[in-house]
Structure formats: structure tokens, C-alpha cells
Structure 1
Amino acid sequence: MTIAIPTASGWESIELKPARDWVRHPEPYSSRVAFAAAHVVADPRGENVPGAPAVIDWDSTLAFRRGLFEYGLGVAEAMDTAQRNMGLDWPAVQELVSRSADQARDFGARIASGAGTDQLTSVSTIDDVTNCYLEQVAFVESTGSQVIVMASRHLAALAAGAEDYRVVYESILSQVSEPVILHWLGDAFDPQLAGYWGSTDVAAATDTFVELVAAHADKIDGVKVSLLSAEHETGLRARLPEGVRMYTGDDFNYPELIRGDDTADGDTHHSDALLGAFAAIAPAASAALAALDAGDLAGYDAELAPTLALSRHLFEKPTFYYKTGIAFLSWLNGYQPGFTMVGGLQSARSVVHLARAFSLANDAQLLVNPDLAAKRLGLLLGTAGVER
């Protein structure tokens, strides 16, 4: 079946590929730890307009996470993929983490959830930031989820330098019950986080970060770095203390980073995964990790190679709107009833961008039901007034 998709200047014909029968793999992987940062499904009847409290379709949201569990992936909950700081308010975060943690426990699956400072619209002191963090950390721990300490917009706005970051993070790490994941989110994902760790110079910020991790390694399971620089990540992970994982957040370069260093002595350093992209490519990520477990590097490369163009497209600038593409693919694949998002964020990408995402998902055979996906694309195009 051939269909036409719109481009900026006309139309392109593409051949729909048949659905692939992906193999389920509900067990975790032996060679890598892998989390998918999952999105939330908005209730299509809810008042999910900009500035309104989030109204979530809980059945679809939790079902999406069960689908990730079926492919052996843990869920990174209430992160930026779930529109944290972009429509998902603190009351919704609390319910989301509670429900998701309960479900993960029922499935024996791994879950880690974000703790930040977004329960207040403004803070005036560094102590305010610390107290907000501690409240959220305590809540996440109370659900049984592992904690991901997210980057804080409030801290970025208030901190006078690296010492303020040390004070806040040392207060958190001194009080956590179990080792946490520290998240360094770059300004490509959130411009309000520019200069995190006290400097706009990445090398200086990295030194501060490494010093903090080294001083508290027993309280840190791993670090997730989302700077979209493979060179920076490989350099940083070589500096991490033994036992502290690097969870890649690089949606542009994840195949090589997860694969690891290819040296004569074998794999000396590699990244584990905590990726928004994995929510879009879960079956392929599962197949690749299963191949890696089996020592089949060629198979690993072959499974992930077709997904990279899709991921890079979804995360193209402005990168912080990648969530729109994640939700769009979920709708195409029948995982949610409508293409609606919290805060009205479905409008954040153009029809041409979304049509290209459809084409790249088709190339990677990530359309579960190609006929349904094509029908839904047609509905979107017709609604937008894009007709041939």
C-alpha cells in the first residue's frame, strides 16, 4: 500500500511496510539497565488547555506503561517526557507516581520517579529549594519507587555559584533512604536550566558534578546526563566512581553509548539507558538489548540503526517539544484514543513534522498496525486542512 505524506513543498509517496512481529521480553536484561521515560495520556474530555490543571486518562496512561514492562523496560516516571514543568502539575505528579509504582510492584518491574521543586510556583531562598526537594523525595520514597533527583529551575534561578548546588544536593543525599539517580538536564531540553551546577562552562560544571558524585557515591545509583553530546558523556562516565552507573539521556547517540567502548581489551565503559526515545521505540530497543545480552553486537547494531533517524527527528530543535512526537506515535499505534496532550501541547509540532515522524516509524517497522496508523494520519491531515 502506498500513501502520500505532506512535505514543506509538496507530497512524498511512501510504501507502508508490514507490521513486524516483535518478540516480547518481560524479563530485565543482564547486560544493561534500561528505563523508558514514559509520557502521560491526556483525557480527551478533560480541560487540558494551556495553564489548566492536568486531566489524565489513567487507563491509557497505565496501559502504556504495562506495554513497556512487556519489553523488559523499567519506567522512568514523572520526568520531562511526562511533561514535567510543561503542564503536569504537582497533584497530578503525585497520583501518577503512586499509581505507576503500584503497577510496577504488581508486575515485578523496575520504576524510578522524578523528584523536583515544582510544587511551588516561586521560591526565594536556597533553603526553600532544599525543603521542596526533600518533600518530593520523601513522597517518591513512600510509594516504593526509586528516586530520580531532577534538575530544578528554582535552583538554577537562585544559585549564586557551584557552592549553592553542593549545599542543596548534599542535604538531599544525606537524607535519602536508598541510592538515587541524579539527573543533569541540559538547556536544549529546558532553557531555564542553563548554567546548571554553577557555570555555563560545561567543563567547569562537569568538575563540580563529578566532585559531588565522588563525595557521595554510596548514595548514588547512577547519573542521567541529557546534554546530547556523546563526547561529553564518554568522558564523564570514565570519571565516575566504581559502582555509579551512567544512564544515557542522549537521544541522538544512544546506540553507540549503550554499546560501549570498543577496545582491544573489551568493553571498558558503557552507558545504561534512561531515554524518552525508548518510549517510542520500545520493541526495537528490546530486540537490541536481547541481542546484546547474547553477545550479538551485529544484531544489536542492526536493531537500533533504523530507529536513530526517527529519534533524532523527534528530538530536533526545539528539543523540549519532543513529547508531542512521542504522544503522536502512541496515538498512531492505538495506545490512546486521541492525539491530545496536557496543556494543549499537541499543537507544538507542525503537521509536516508529524508526517515525517510517521514515515520514519514506518521505515523502522514501529507501526503496530500500519493500516490504522495511516487512517489516523489521514484524520490529522484532513483536520489540519492538508489535503492532496
Structure 2
Amino acid sequence: MNRETTYNFNAGPSALPTVVLERAQQQLLNFEESGMSIMEMSHRGKVYEAVHNAAIERMRKLYNIPSDYEVLFLQGGASLQFSMIPMNFLAEGEKAGYIMTGSWSEKAIKEAKMVGATYEVASTKDNHYKNIPTTFNVEEGTRYVHMTSNNTIFGTQFKTTPDINVPLIADMSSDIMSKPIDVTKFAMIYAGAQKNLGPSGVTVAIIRKDFLATAKTENPTVLQYATHVKNNSLYHTPPTFGIYMLGEVLKWIEEQGGLEAVNQQNEMKAALIYDVIDGSEGFYTGHADKDSRSLMNITFRVADEALEQQFLTEAAEAGFVGLNGHRSVGGCRASAYNAVPVAACQALADFMKAFMAKHK
């Protein structure tokens, strides 16, 4: 197999733009005539500092992030944020609300329960997480409400931001920078980089300053958001190569025409596959309800289990990588993140049609 004949639909870490990888390759041994790789130089030096700050500024520009928000590069993935958020923002006697839309919101509320009181603002678990809730029961005295904007395992995605009158926190790990959003509707956004922003190892956090000012201060130093704000995310050694790559991916998004153009591409890619599912007369069935479908993670089943395994086997032989559904739910999943080209989605759609014609 080679890159030209491999279609990467992995759920994460996932596809990176080829041009970004090529640029990194060209600069790997001698970054900007420094005589060193970006991975070898001090994170306190001027060369890396420029890379670091440029990535922050690109993030601000693409998302139109106002000056009253901080942009941080952290470590530990979204999973650490599940704990770090309540540690910073959920005090004794307070409660936090969680919108339950899948496995990641379940993990988030589990960690928050270890810190303080929590409750479910809404849940679609009884419907096997096939849809996004539309009504939200926010109790009086709620400190914040947490949501997961896109659900990789079940293939659902919020189409609009919930209208909630308390601070809203969003885990956007699997759809960050996939479309324009209004950052001002959120007190905090966070995301692991490994799906749309770069390689694994970097976590982005965007936090409104007035919300940040309410954070508790009795936590260990490295687990306080204020520590990372004060030190421009350089309190301890950051994942320098990952941040460099994140900056290059953001540059690539700019080159595509920005988030509006990227969103149009994502809608086109997802439609290619959903149209096959919808036109298959039950040979393929989608997991998510149509009005809740994700543009990032297309989850579906094949007519029967034996045929499904054959589909996955033949797909792998044809160069399609990562189509197995999550181990907790099975089935099939095509993750069509930003860097997955339209041609890959067209190839998958054609393969699905050919497989159906042979076995229907």
C-alpha cells in the first residue's frame, strides 16, 4: 500500500493534509535555517516562540475569537479536561449540568462526579444515542452546562448551539475547526488536536476571561488554567512539534478559503456517503437520525452481520482504513474529518454501491 491508494477514515488520530506533511518533511532537519529540527530547539527560544504565537493568532483569526478570551495549548487530551474543568469551576455546594449524547459525555460526567454535584440536563441514551436532544432542563444554581458537540462513536452532531442562560462548556474534539461557530456563545471550548487540528498530544482550550476569573485557586499549580494563561502555555515544556503541526494545519485551512469553504467540503463529503445509505433500500442503515447526523463520523450497518464482516474485509483489501465501528457499538464508521479528501469519500461511496450490487 502507498499513500495514493490508501483511504484513511480513522477516527483519530486521523488524516492530516498531505501538503502539511510535506512541508514538515522539508523542514524536519533544518527548521527555518536554524540548523535544528523544531523538535530539538528550546521552547523558550525566539524561533519556537514565534511558531507558538503564530498558531494562537491563526486560531483567533479563523474563529474570530474576541480579546476577552484566552487561547491555551495544554496536554493530557480531552480526558484530562473532564477532571480539570470541575476541579477549577465546580465548588462545594454548586452543581454542574451535563448534556448526555454518548460515550464521551458519560466519561465527562463520571469524572465531574468525583469533584462535586452533577445532574443530566438532557439525555438521549434511551434512544441509543441516535439523536441530539432539543430540550434542556437547566436547574437553578447550575454552575455550568457541559456538552459534546460531535459524537464520534454514535455519529451525531449538534447543528445549533443550545440556548442556555448559564456558562456553556463544549468538548469539540471531533468537530473543532470543521465549520464556523460563534465562540461568544461559550464560556469555554476545548478539543484534542488529533482529529481536525494535527497530531495527537495537544489540547486546545478557549476560555472567556470573566469565567476564568471565577476559577478556584486551591488546585495543584499545573491543574490551574490561570497558570497556563499567565505563562502563555509555556509553564512546562509544551508538545512543541504538535503545536508546530497545529499551526501548519490552521495555515492549510486558511489556504482552503477558511472555515466556510472547509464546511462546504465537509457537507459534500458526508453527502456522498449518506446518499448511498439512504438510497440502498435498507441494505445499509445509518445509526443516527437524519436531523442529528454528523458530518465528521458517518456510522452505519450492513444488512446482516456476516455480510458486514465481509464488507469490512473487502474494504480493507481495497485500501479503506479505519472503517470498523467503535468496539463498544460495532458496525461501520467513516470518519471524514477536514483532511480527508473528497476523492476518498467518492471512492468509498463507489465501493459501497459496488458491494451492494454484488450482494443485494
* Bin of the TM-score, shorter chain as denominator length: 0.3 to 0.5
Higher normalized contact order (CA 8 Å, seq sep 6+, divided by chain length): 2
TM score, norm. by length of structure 2 = 0.34
Structure having the higher strand fraction is: 2
More helix by share: 1
* TM-score, scaled to structure 1: 0.32
